[in-house]
Structure 1
Amino acid sequence: MAKCVRNLDKGLVQLTLPLTSLPTAGLPAGSLRRRDAVQEAFRAALDRSGLTREYVANELSRLTGDSISIHHINNWTAESKAAERRIPLDYLAALGLILGDAGILQAALPAGWLGLTPEGAAVYEYGRLAVEERRRGRKKRELLERINGGREGS
């Protein structure tokens, strides 16, 4: 018996969007290069922490389950190896916790974006709620004025 070949192609074509409609269209090439900023932030956080590179490597190994040596830490912080030795993104959270510094994560984010510690997130959430309460208060006053028909003083 001959095999029946079915043509599944329905002539569908993927449409492309004009580049001007993309959210990154206005950004210049290379504007999100964060490698140097991340490396500098890591060096600064390591210096401020007072922890040894060996301790950081051991703790990073323990937290991530990967084998991280002091040589990795040295390569990530060496200015001469900036182009070839990058800190993997999945280590940033662990490094932030170990060093007690969210600056490394902040350096990896584009301008205007925030990386918050749990305490910072609580402050942010509190502020967000305070702004919502103010908006609700204004809305309540407007509605009360409409209900009273402008007879505020009566």
Structure 2
Amino acid sequence: MKFKEYRMLIVAAVLVIAGIWISISAAQQLNIARQLDRVGEEIQATVTSQRKLQTNSGQTDHFITYTFTFDEALQTYERRVPAVLYRVVEPGSNMILQVNPSNPDIHALYAGELSGRPRQTFNAGIVIFVLGAGIFLINGGAILRERRRRNA
């Protein structure tokens, strides 16, 4: 068999592997979000600054910097946020965060922050996997039929 005949099988294998990897990564993020929903504690944070960043594609990313005290230590974070949240907070304003008590790095600024995007990513991973598997089955079957025809 020549490389040309296997090219689509290689593409299919890459899609299957990518779909699995994307879905597993998203599932891990969803698990973190579920854990935060179960054990998270509400903590007050203070917005310390805001900034906008123009991307290469011409869109604007919005960031806020905020602080909160956890286990008597001041925690400072910067996070990209939706434009709507950026517009309703300003430096000095307070927010209520949901924080994982065993790891303050895991926290949510608003409901659904940690689960919304991973859910979409998980679904995209499944679609990529199914596409790759379909290409693999169709082309693999065609290659096997051609092989049998040649050997007959």
- TM-score (norm. length: structure 2): 0.32
- TM-score (norm. length: structure 1): 0.32
Structure with a larger share of its residues in helix = 1
Larger of the two Rg values belongs to structure = 1
